[in-house]
Structure 1
Amino acid sequence: MKKIILCSVMCLISTWIFAQQRILKGTVKDATTGENLVGATIQIQTTTKGTETDSNGNYQIEISNGTQTVVFSSIGYQTITKNIQISKDVTVLNIGLTTETTQLSELKINSKQNKTLGAQIVQKGVLKLRPINNAQDILKVVPGLFIAQHAGGGKAEQIFLRGFDNDHGTDFAAFIDNIPVNMSSHAHGQGYADMHFIIPETIGNIDYFKGPHEASLGNFATSGAAKLKTKSRLGRNVIKAEYGAYNYARGLAMITLLDNKNFLSKNYENAYVAIEGTYNEGFFDSKMNLRRLNGFAKYSLEINNKNFLEVSGSGFTSKWNASGQIPYRAVQSGMIGYFGAIDDTEGGNTDRYHVNALLNSEINENNTFTNSLFFVANSYDLYSNFTLFQENEVDGDMIYQHENRKVFGYNGNWENKSFLANKPLTSEIGAFIRADFNKMGLDNAVKRQITSSVNHYDLQEVNYALYLKETLELTSKLTFVAGLRGDFFTFQQEDLLNNTGTEKENAFRFSPKFSSYYQVTPSVQLFGKASIGYHSNYTQTAISRPDIHPLPKVEGYDLGTAFKIGEKFVGNFTAWYLKSDAEYVFVADAGGFENNGKSERLGVEASFKYQPLPFLWLEADGNYSHGKLLDSPSGENSIPAAPRFTSTGGAVFKFKNGINGSLRYRYLGQRPLVEDESVEAEAYFLVDAVLNYTKPKYEIGITVENIFDERWMEAVFYDSSKLKNETEPQDDFHFTPGTPFFIKAGITYFF
């Protein structure tokens, strides 16, 4: 009997030893260019275990002893299957994947493999085939997001998403390498997010979020957010030249300076620079003459096998003229043409510089610690004339908005992998500090000459934040994500004109987050989310109006599914609800805001991708929302400028002979411009196309926007203004015309 017991115990011990978990880790790259692949899937065959590569192309997964079969795949790349002998605690395996015609069969609908759980990784292959003239256009890849330019090509675009007119970023947060792009208490609008300093070709990955559900995101991330990550390595050098209609010209150079040459250390290091210059006369009767120069540099160092350092910096300067938002009655009467101007002295200039240092440390197999420090310097000058001659009948109503800002920040994140009652648990703790020091003001002007001052402020705003995020795999099919976030703000203001001394105000916002994911089958996932977010108010208003919370709350709920039918069809459907404690309309030219009270928005969104042929993708999305102001009477409670129905879609093709491209549409439906819906903005439907011929050493491409030369209003408002020959102000449509038929050609050389 004793022998039997002893033998059984030994068998159990040997079984435990054989089955104990080890770690498989490494990096997945593009075998041709050497670029790190983000979101590549690693699957242990015959099991449910899987993971994805992170923003640096790295992966880590628990794996059992013995011979294991591991499958590496990514959309647009050939799948690789490896038989690996696992016998030690940590096995390192780096993989290079070879490109092939994109196959939707590689896309996995599996919550356990999606580390971000709620972010959707935008595939670079699709992004490349979109018309991209500047970094702001990158946001168009977010389903349901539309942008509109209304003051020349040098100002941040207006953003629409989930029934929000986000202005320039009030309810949409943007990040680049963990640096927040949005500027609070900006001279031209709250949450102003100008992305023109980003060189599109340096972007390696984009994560986008819908709703306020991500615990690591704070201010302005209510309708959604986008996190952009620049490439850690170019893989190949690039020289690019483009020329198009209206004397559009752009040049780009991206050059690798170091690549594993052991110049500064004994370990792997890489450094590259990118320089972009753009000139554009524009299609307006009064030339825009946009001049923009961008520079970016990044240095990466593998200090040792546990610590990875990235240091980057950028510089940006831009100048432009603008035709403003013109009154429709001036066009109808023949006073000006559709692309004309009443005041053609509008425009501005802006400069931005930043430095960023990020250290990623692997403490052990289950713990990683990320620290980043950033500094941003931003100056801004904008001349606008919204009301024309309404206030000053002789010289006009031009205003001059300006600021000079310094931002200091820290972002820290600790991630721990453990178990709770034998269930896999990933814990994430983060800390964030951002301090803005901003001297800004508003002046009256005539033809860009200052005539009088309206307000000048010295503002200081500091945001301290802590968050906790727990991801628990309760069963093989059910995953819970719970988060808690606390944000504390200090607002400080000095009125430089009235010498009122220094005034201060503090505010706190607690934001719980919860999401659940249920894997019905390997091809069907259900999810539900309930969270709270916020956006901050102007510093000036936070101090002058203590009766109004400076951090109004937004409640968000999502219920939906992601699914796959066969190997060629992928789709998702989401119903959502957002309720805001305060519907702020920021009036930057008056230095304040209007509060339309509480609001709610209800919507649905659906999208699909279908691959009928190996070389062809079809895709489309539809988004409907309806919002109302809860404190206004029925019939007068519609939210002005809030989009109702939007849709984008088209076809993307890629042949083995190097020919690739896309044909895409974008539709923005009618939307009310006033609360009683008596005035609406017209819908528009536009079609764009891209055609490339790509070879290993070069690429030739043509981009056409607005193929059918539709006449459309890109930005439109319903406000009052007064023309010089009028006796009284009039309410009217004020609009910026959208791009007419536009074509550009480009050639790129790789080496």
Structure 2
Amino acid sequence: MDAASQGTVGANRIAGRPLARPADVLELVPGLIITQHSGQGKANQYFLRGFNLDHGTDFATTVNGVPVNMPTHAHGQGYSDLNFLIPELVERMDFRKGPYFVGQGDFASAGAANFHYRQQLDAPFVDLSVGNHGYARALSADSGVWASGLRWLAAFEAMGDDGPWSNPDRLQKRNLHMGLAGGSAREGWSASAVAYRARWNSTDQVPQRLLDSGSWRGRPFSRWDAVDPSDGGETQRVSLAAEWHRIGQGTHDRVSAWWLDYGLDLWSNFTYAMNNTTLGDQFAQRDQRQAMGLTTSRQWHHVGGSWGDGFSTLGLYLRQDNIRVGLYNTVARQITATVRDDHVRQSLLGLYAENQWQWTPWLRSIAGLAVDRLDAQVQSFTLPDNSGVAQTALLSPKAGLVLGPWHKTEFHVNAGRGFHSNDARGMTMQRDPANPAQAMSPAPGLVATQGMEAGLRSQPMPNFLTSLVLWRLNLDSELIYQGDSGTTTAGRASTRYGLEWSSQWQPARRWQLDLDLSWSHARYTEGPEVRRYIPNAQEQVAQLTLRCKPDAQWLVAVQMRSMGSAPLTDDNSVRSASSVTTNLRVQHDLTGRATVTLDVFNLFDRRVNDIQYFYASQLAGDSQPVTGLHVHPAEPLSVRIGLRVKF
């Protein structure tokens, strides 16, 4: 490992964890929290290292080499929808935190996770599961080897879910994965194809004042009710990917390529009737794109004699997106006006070099340099002044030292610069699309992040692994493009620092205990001293998972997650309420071919919120906007029963 905060999660740990939604696999990354403020078909909300990552802005994710994050997205920069992930197919998840790793590129300032699917299954299987709130899921997967030695894997998933909402989610999801592989670990290739489609209704966050009153428009109103029941979305994703690798005499070559066709139509209403008291504030965001990418690298092995030995790597990555992206005013999903309609072509080219050198058995150095160039061409169909061409580039040095091991303990020191890209439309913006008379300033295309951390990894006993990390991140600007308004929101420079402790302990052969504790401090470094808190910057996160396997047939796992209070305003005058939830998994192997699983989510039926915001909104009937708390409740106690049959 190159950093103390780096790690790998294997299939066994994923299989032993109750997962309410696919992206919950990411909560196996210490300190990372997943929530949802809308319908289950929408990308989740992510929190890590004092960042409200929105839907993925500073956390990069790939599945089988295909990026999940979407630049210049209709809803949010770096939008990362993992609902197409099939956790049962994941062989491992490699995660990294901090901007210290060459080759990660865009959106990886806070961290990154790379999912790798299996190429073969132990046996073909069918999973069937049902639960309350209209939940039903079927998954079928098979694999094999043809006479030519070609390995194949295929899986199909179908799922439906209403949720506890008065206006049912009516989530319908269909998901197909196919994979091929040939060759060996020394020289070989693999390819995969994904076809995914989903549609859903949304119950978005609602004003706390409405829940406190308990009624609206003369009718009872509960935490499961929606203000605008026509919110929702539809999305589709089709991708192809291939990779080739070869380990030669002192060299290691890798080439991978991918192609993606993606679409999203999303209807939302967060302010209800504040901007238009007659028709309401619902808006639609539409994203249609085709994207492609290429990554290639060569690594050389050097033997330095008495100076040790090491590796040098040269690499290149390229991503191109061809996007039609729009923002519209709507009523009950019917367009009433066009706010923005743009055609965007953008490309990101990255070149990097890295050297790792083992100077002595106890000293290893890592040094790297990356240069990234973003080119964007924007054509605005609604406001020609916002059309244009823009380019920008950024140089990112990275370095690290690994000391040890001594008594199975390593010490790590890392530092580096990373970045996230801004929406290309912000790079050429001259006028506010909702108010063309209002002049706007173009935004920088790449926002730099400087990070550093010091940590240790230790295995003082064969059954105990632990890591401790002290980290810091500085952002040049919190400026972001707001997809909900079609404008760029000014931001301030910021700094974050924190402490993470993660441990895995097996006190006895049948017991496994995982504990992750994270604390972070996030502040703007500009502006009045009393207004430097960063809203929604999570400060304390704790996760505890206890697994017991009394024999070969039984597994019991209890997972507890705690989110501490966080500021909701930059003066810290309003804070979110803390929350604790507990999930349970009980699994029994009936025959060696059939396994029954019971998952219970929110085991103690705690009345907590998935998300909390503080902003102004106006309900129909209000005489003026009201600034206050808006919440989206976590789902109540829910039960799912699953049956897996192997063939």
TM-score normalised per structure 2: 0.95
The corresponding residue for 2:331 is: 446
Whole-angstrom distance in 2 between the partners of 1:157 and 1:252: 22
Aligned residues of 1:538 and 1:592 also touching (Cα < 8 A): no
Pick from 204, 207, 210 the counterpart of residue 327 of structure 1. 207
Aligned residues of 2:10 and 2:91 also touching (Cα < 8 A): no
The corresponding residue for 2:196 is: 316
Does the residue aligned with 1:596 lie in a helix, a strand or coil?
A: coil
Give the counterpart letter for 1:158 in structure 2: Q
Whole-angstrom distance in 1 between the partners of 2:190 and 2:410: 36
Structure with the larger RCO, 1 or 2 (CA within 8 Å, 6+ apart): 2
Q: Does 1:523 align with 2:408?
A: yes
Alignment RMSD, CA only?
1.6
Aligned residues of 1:126 and 1:652 also touching (Cα < 8 A): no
Aligned residues of 1:120 and 1:209 also touching (Cα < 8 A): yes
Shift of residue 502, structure 1, vs aligned partner: 5.0
Does the residue aligned with 1:126 lie in a helix, a strand or coil?
A: helix
Whole-angstrom distance in 2 between the partners of 1:679 and 1:516: 41
The 5 Å alignment of 1:555-566 reads 555-566=450-461
Does the residue aligned with 2:24 lie in a helix, a strand or coil?
A: helix
Whole-angstrom distance in 2 between the partners of 1:368 and 1:236: 32
Unaligned stretches of 5+ residues in structure 1: 1-113, 263-267
The 5 Å alignment of 1:39-50 reads none
The corresponding residue for 1:350 is: 235
Pick from 592, 595, 613 the counterpart of residue 717 of structure 1. 613
The corresponding residue for 1:269 is: 150
Whole-angstrom distance in 2 between the partners of 1:555 and 1:576: 11
The 5 Å alignment of 1:680-719 reads 680-694=575-589, 696-719=592-615
The corresponding residue for 1:190 is: 77
Does the residue aligned with 2:428 lie in a helix, a strand or coil?
A: helix
Whole-angstrom distance in 1 between the partners of 2:254 and 2:478: 36
Pick from 181, 185, 206 the counterpart of residue 93 of structure 2. 206
Which string of whole-angstrom CA distances, capped at 9 and with x for unpartnered residues, describes residues 566-615 of structure 1? 22322111100100000124421111232221100010011212211101
The corresponding residue for 1:666 is: 561
Aligned residues of 1:417 and 1:425 also touching (Cα < 8 A): yes
Paired residues, what number?
A: 630
Whole-angstrom distance in 2 between the partners of 1:611 and 1:136: 26
Whole-angstrom distance in 2 between the partners of 1:222 and 1:305: 31
Whole-angstrom distance in 1 between the partners of 2:131 and 2:322: 40
Aligned residues of 1:534 and 1:551 also touching (Cα < 8 A): yes
Which string of whole-angstrom CA distances, capped at 9 and with x for unpartnered residues, describes residues 668-699 of structure 1? 00000000111111000111111111353121
Whole-angstrom distance in 1 between the partners of 2:384 and 2:443: 24
Whole-angstrom distance in 2 between the partners of 1:434 and 1:293: 27
Whole-angstrom distance in 2 between the partners of 1:574 and 1:235: 37
The corresponding residue for 2:263 is: 379
The corresponding residue for 2:174 is: 293
Which string of whole-angstrom CA distances, capped at 9 and with x for unpartnered residues, describes residues 385-432 of structure 1? 010011111221100000101001101121222223541211222110
The 5 Å alignment of 1:518-667 reads 518-544=403-429, 548-667=443-562
Aligned residues of 1:494 and 1:500 also touching (Cα < 8 A): no
Q: Does 1:126 align with 2:13?
A: yes
Whole-angstrom distance in 2 between the partners of 1:212 and 1:307: 30
Which string of whole-angstrom CA distances, capped at 9 and with x for unpartnered residues, describes residues 279-307 of structure 1? 001111111100000000001122x8963
The corresponding residue for 1:388 is: 272
Which string of whole-angstrom CA distances, capped at 9 and with x for unpartnered residues, describes residues 549-570 of structure 1? 3211100010111112222322
The corresponding residue for 1:743 is: 639
User: More displaced, 614-623 or 124-133?
Assistant: 124-133
Give the counterpart letter for 1:388 in structure 2: Y
Judged with a 3 Å threshold, the aligned counterparts in structure 2 of structure 1 residues 501 and 533 are, in CA distance, closer, same or farther, namely closer
Aligned residues of 1:178 and 1:411 also touching (Cα < 8 A): no
Which string of whole-angstrom CA distances, capped at 9 and with x for unpartnered residues, describes residues 135-175 of structure 1? 21111111100011111000000100000000001111101
Calculate percent identity across the aligned residue pairs: 27
Pick from 171, 181, 189 the counterpart of residue 58 of structure 2. 171
Shift of residue 261, structure 1, vs aligned partner: 2.0
Aligned residues of 2:14 and 2:87 also touching (Cα < 8 A): no
The 5 Å alignment of 1:40-189 reads 114=1, 119-189=6-76
Shift of residue 310, structure 1, vs aligned partner: 0.9
**Larger of the two Rg values belongs to structure:** 1
Pick from 214, 237, 251 the counterpart of residue 124 of structure 2. 237
Aligned residues of 1:516 and 1:527 also touching (Cα < 8 A): yes
Does the residue aligned with 1:413 lie in a helix, a strand or coil?
A: strand
User: More displaced, 577-586 or 149-158?
Assistant: 577-586
Shift of residue 639, structure 1, vs aligned partner: 0.4
The corresponding residue for 1:679 is: 574
Whole-angstrom distance in 2 between the partners of 1:601 and 1:646: 15
Pick from 452, 459, 463 the counterpart of residue 344 of structure 2. 459
Shift of residue 739, structure 1, vs aligned partner: 1.2
Which string of whole-angstrom CA distances, capped at 9 and with x for unpartnered residues, describes residues 196-231 of structure 1? 112111111100111111111000000111011111
Whole-angstrom distance in 1 between the partners of 2:283 and 2:442: 30
Aligned residues of 1:134 and 1:199 also touching (Cα < 8 A): no
Judged with a 3 Å threshold, the aligned counterparts in structure 2 of structure 1 residues 717 and 115 are, in CA distance, closer, same or farther, namely closer
Whole-angstrom distance in 2 between the partners of 1:592 and 1:644: 29
Which string of whole-angstrom CA distances, capped at 9 and with x for unpartnered residues, describes residues 625-664 of structure 1? 1111111111111000000111001211223332013111
The corresponding residue for 2:623 is: 727
The corresponding residue for 1:252 is: 139
Whole-angstrom distance in 2 between the partners of 1:590 and 1:532: 30
Judged with a 3 Å threshold, the aligned counterparts in structure 2 of structure 1 residues 420 and 591 are, in CA distance, closer, same or farther, namely farther
Give the counterpart letter for 1:236 in structure 2: A
Does the residue aligned with 1:298 lie in a helix, a strand or coil?
A: strand
Judged with a 3 Å threshold, the aligned counterparts in structure 2 of structure 1 residues 116 and 669 are, in CA distance, closer, same or farther, namely closer
Aligned residues of 2:422 and 2:443 also touching (Cα < 8 A): no
Shift of residue 499, structure 1, vs aligned partner: 4.1
Judged with a 3 Å threshold, the aligned counterparts in structure 2 of structure 1 residues 548 and 379 are, in CA distance, closer, same or farther, namely closer
Unaligned stretches of 5+ residues in structure 2: 216-220, 430-439
Aligned residues of 1:413 and 1:430 also touching (Cα < 8 A): yes
Give the counterpart letter for 2:423 in structure 1: Y
Does the residue aligned with 2:70 lie in a helix, a strand or coil?
A: coil
Aligned residues of 1:478 and 1:519 also touching (Cα < 8 A): yes
The 5 Å alignment of 1:3-18 reads none
Which string of whole-angstrom CA distances, capped at 9 and with x for unpartnered residues, describes residues 705-743 of structure 1? 110000111011111111111101001111111111011
Shift of residue 232, structure 1, vs aligned partner: 1.6
Shift of residue 366, structure 1, vs aligned partner: 2.0
Whole-angstrom distance in 2 between the partners of 1:653 and 1:120: 23
Give the counterpart letter for 2:383 in structure 1: N
Whole-angstrom distance in 2 between the partners of 1:736 and 1:701: 29
Whole-angstrom distance in 1 between the partners of 2:636 and 2:408: 43
Whole-angstrom distance in 2 between the partners of 1:690 and 1:188: 34
Shift of residue 478, structure 1, vs aligned partner: 0.8
Aligned residues of 1:416 and 1:426 also touching (Cα < 8 A): yes
Does the residue aligned with 1:246 lie in a helix, a strand or coil?
A: coil
